[in-house]
Structure 1
Amino acid sequence: MQGTLREIDVQTIIHLIEFGQRTGELLIESSEGKFWFLFFHNGELIYATDTDSNLTRLRDYLHGLGLDHALDQLATSKLGINVLEYGQIWALLESKILNPCQAKAILESTILEVLFDVLGLYQGTFVFEISPALTPKLSTLKFSEISAHHFRQLQQWKYFYPIIQSINQCPILWSNDALPHLSKWIDGKTSIRQLCRYSGQSILTIGQALYDAIAAGEVSIPPLTLKVPQEVKVKSPKILCIDDSVTIGRAVEYILHNHGYQVMSISSPIKALSLIFQQKPDLVLCDIAMPELDGYELCAMLRKSSVFAKVPIIMLTGKDGFIDRVKARMVGATEYLTKPFGEKELLTTVEKYSKR
């Protein structure tokens, strides 16, 4: 299932996934290029992330619990490119740093955060891909049970505009006696969203408290500083990702783009074969298990061309056997990256073989 948000709204998409009891990932991309992932099991939400967070969001929640250095005690999770945070929450639970109630509260908060961001989107695209559920399953949330209440909250939030324009604004405290339950965090650098994470209170509760304090002259909120997007350097390496999983392709595209690469992802190997000679990428990321044409065949075909005789080709696969590695080398693959892989592994491999 895929399409544009002009054809169908996010609320209806999630309802369809729930009613169909689907298991998989919903990728939503806004018209500004921001990405969100929502994970489902039998139609119920189990986790959501926005790909910008990495572990920043989790560190905020842990800060509110007085566990600022908890993540430093854990090894990096390898549950997948979009689920690093989920894996760390499970590791914290396993290590008894978090108790089950705390872990469940954090996971439900991640879902509510993302719902707050995406339910009001009316421009962008979406892709729902059936895939195995995240494991272990720590918590579930039925969208149908919270949608009406959540939608009312969104409508009420609009009431604060233009006094409060964004959850990313950072309030400044003018009276030491104002907002005693929040004052220790209000320093002009902490965003409204972070105040929600630290305090464990809803965005509407925080918004109302700030709105009233602003009216009383006890708090002010400077306007957001517009960030000027960095120009992509003409000589930055061109990366082509060929993977029949649209979700993986978009995630790779997003991560590498944020680190200064020119990136294009293509889900069809046949289409990729026709475009690759036009684009002439500096490095190719290629999935192995694809319909129509597998990664081995595609790699072998590219190596027969003088244009791609020396271009690095990194094979992406869920397999981790010795035979697969040997076969990849035999068809001319430069390197082999096993799924699921983390952001750090992806960047390290691409940096190693790109011309940058």
Structure 2
Amino acid sequence: MLAPLSVRSTHWPTTKHDVIFNTEELLRRIQNCASQQFTGQLDFNITNPQQQQWKLFFSVGSLIGCDSEVHPVRRWYRQLSLHCPSLAVNSVIQEGEPIQYQDYESLSKQVKQGQVPLGQMAAIVEGHTGEVLFDIIQAGEQQNYHSGLYLSYRVIPQDSIDLGWVVVRAERVWQQVFQDWQAWQQAGLADISPNLAPKILQAEQLRLQTSPSAYRNLTTLADGTQTLRDLAVKLKQNILPLTHSIAPYIRKNLIALIEVEDLKVSILSPKLVEPKSQQNGRISSQKSSATLSSSKSASAVIAYIDDSRIDSQMMGYILEEAGYNFVSIQDSVQALVVLLENKPDLIFLDLVMPVANGYEICSQIRRVSVFQNIPVIILTGNDGIVDRVRAKMVGASGFLPKPITQQKVLSTLQRYLPTKSLYMSN
């Protein structure tokens, strides 16, 4: 059983911004979050061709999770394979096929029920955040922190955090990651991202420069579909010596390192297989195991605007299980266009997004006559009185505090769409 998190006071402001210019400063900021018992979200942004973004989540100074735009599904699946292999149900990943796996929420429920050891869950969270922190350090070092790494501290009210979340010590994670990064540098791999996939470019030249067994292994593994991290888990090897062994062939251009897409996903709950992940603006629907009202289900279209792929997948999983049609919109610039195409009955809208925030998008939505009476619910980890007043001023119908949970989402739908509830009374 998970120990509940105690509520403690903090002097952190609602939002605080900072810029750092080296790795030592980065680690000090994370250590400060731990020592000052920060509860909230730490956003990292770096200006480079990819405009990379990462998030670390804290509760009373301990890490409870992370988010990254790079391979969130691959990353989670790797940690399941390492620390809870019985739940990594697809031992072989077929290219183009969705992978079924236990998501965080369903896994947490099994921990609470004693079906999954708490230590395994903690190891998954620690490994997950460790990979993300390594990527943050590498991105900063590769850019030489030229334009700075931008940090935003966003306080989350303690009572909005699920008390069942597993926590890990921030100090333990960052110390291990820093050691891993130093070893990676010393091995001459600083310019090689573990998120890239090796692919053979010159097979004949590679054959001539390797032993028959090594060549067979390389032709089997270096097919451009699995990242270096994926291969290390698959082979049960440490990623450093594995990467170091093929680095000479990379330097000779016999093997290339290429970017690969994230895995497609079908979330597997303890009771049923959940629907596939959504593409931006695409409606999908799936009946749940509950009794549905077929005469009303076609009109129950729910849109969710959020740049976070993880949160969008979670929202889609909850809504589709309940039988609603789901529209995922991850590009805020295209939000109005997609909304007009799909005409949802209710809109969930994240507050913190790049380019345009939730207030701006809500104001735009209300200026469109067809959406003037549609419920618009703003999601935020910052549920203060000022935010509520401002949300009302731009026409929001209500608030939903993060993190996203099934109970919160369905309760909101029952409140704002009572005549379109898909569940029939028994």
CA distance in 2, matches of 1:124, 1:291: 31
Q: Which moved more, 1:51-60 or 1:104-113?
A: 51-60
CA distance in 2, matches of 1:183, 1:107: 33
Q: 1:13 to 1:181 in 2, by over 3 A?
A: farther
In the other structure, the counterpart of 2:46 is 30
In the other structure, the counterpart of 2:28 is 12
Give ranges in structure 2 of 5+ residues lacking alignment.
1-14, 91-98, 201-206, 262-279, 282-304, 313-328, 336-352, 402-406, 422-426
CA distance in 2, matches of 1:204, 1:260: 40
- Which one of the candidate residues 373, 393, 400 is aligned to 1:317? 400
In the other structure, the counterpart of 2:150 is 125
In the other structure, the counterpart of 2:242 is 206
In the other structure, the counterpart of 2:75 is 57
Where 2:193 maps in the other structure, the secondary structure is coil
Overall identity of the aligned pairs, in %: 16
Where 2:178 maps in the other structure, the secondary structure is helix
In the other structure, the counterpart of 1:69 is 89
CA distance in 2, matches of 1:56, 1:26: 22
Q: 1:135 to 1:177 in 2, by over 3 A?
A: farther
The alpha carbon displacement at 1:183 in A equals: 8.9
The alpha carbon displacement at 1:17 in A equals: 0.6
CA distance in 2, matches of 1:155, 1:105: 22
The letter for the 2-side match of 1:48 is: C
The letter for the 2-side match of 1:45 is: L
Deviations 1:65-102 (A, max 9, x none): 3644278586xxxxxxxxxx432432454577754443
Query: Is residue 18–residue 43 contact of structure 1 (8 Å, CA) maintained in 2?
Result: yes
In the other structure, the counterpart of 1:298 is 393
Q: 1:91 to 1:101 in 2, by over 3 A?
A: same
In the other structure, the counterpart of 1:2 is 16
Query: Is residue 44–residue 140 contact of structure 1 (8 Å, CA) maintained in 2?
Result: yes
- Which one of the candidate residues 227, 230, 233 is aligned to 1:194? 230
Query: Is residue 26–residue 127 contact of structure 1 (8 Å, CA) maintained in 2?
Result: yes
The letter for the 2-side match of 1:69 is: V
Aligned residues: 286
- Which one of the candidate residues 99, 107, 111 is aligned to 1:89? 107
In the other structure, the counterpart of 1:136 is 164
The letter for the 2-side match of 1:188 is: G
The letter for the 2-side match of 1:169 is: L
2:60 is aligned with 1:42: yes
Query: Is residue 169–residue 222 contact of structure 1 (8 Å, CA) maintained in 2?
Result: no
- Which one of the candidate residues 221, 226, 237 is aligned to 2:255? 221
Q: 1:186 to 1:147 in 2, by over 3 A?
A: same
Q: 1:177 to 1:187 in 2, by over 3 A?
A: same
CA distance in 2, matches of 1:115, 1:2: 20
Q: 1:18 to 1:2 in 2, by over 3 A?
A: same
Query: Is residue 104–residue 139 contact of structure 1 (8 Å, CA) maintained in 2?
Result: yes
CA distance in 1, matches of 2:61, 2:391: 35
In the other structure, the counterpart of 2:318 is none
The alpha carbon displacement at 1:253 in A equals: 12
Query: Is residue 250–residue 256 contact of structure 2 (8 Å, CA) maintained in 1?
Result: no
Query: Is residue 42–residue 56 contact of structure 2 (8 Å, CA) maintained in 1?
Result: yes
Deviations 1:160-214 (A, max 9, x none): 5579632232235765633999997554321112224445655434333433786
CA distance in 2, matches of 1:167, 1:59: 15
Deviations 1:116-171 (A, max 9, x none): 0112423342222222345324341232x454553243233235557963223223
Give ranges in structure 1 of 5+ residues lacking alignment.
75-84, 228-235, 238-247, 303-312, 330-334, 337-356
Please report the TM-score for the alignment, with normalisation by the length of structure 2.
Answer: 0.50
Query: Is residue 171–residue 191 contact of structure 1 (8 Å, CA) maintained in 2?
Result: yes
In the other structure, the counterpart of 1:153 is 180
Query: Is residue 93–residue 99 contact of structure 1 (8 Å, CA) maintained in 2?
Result: yes
Where 1:61 maps in the other structure, the secondary structure is helix
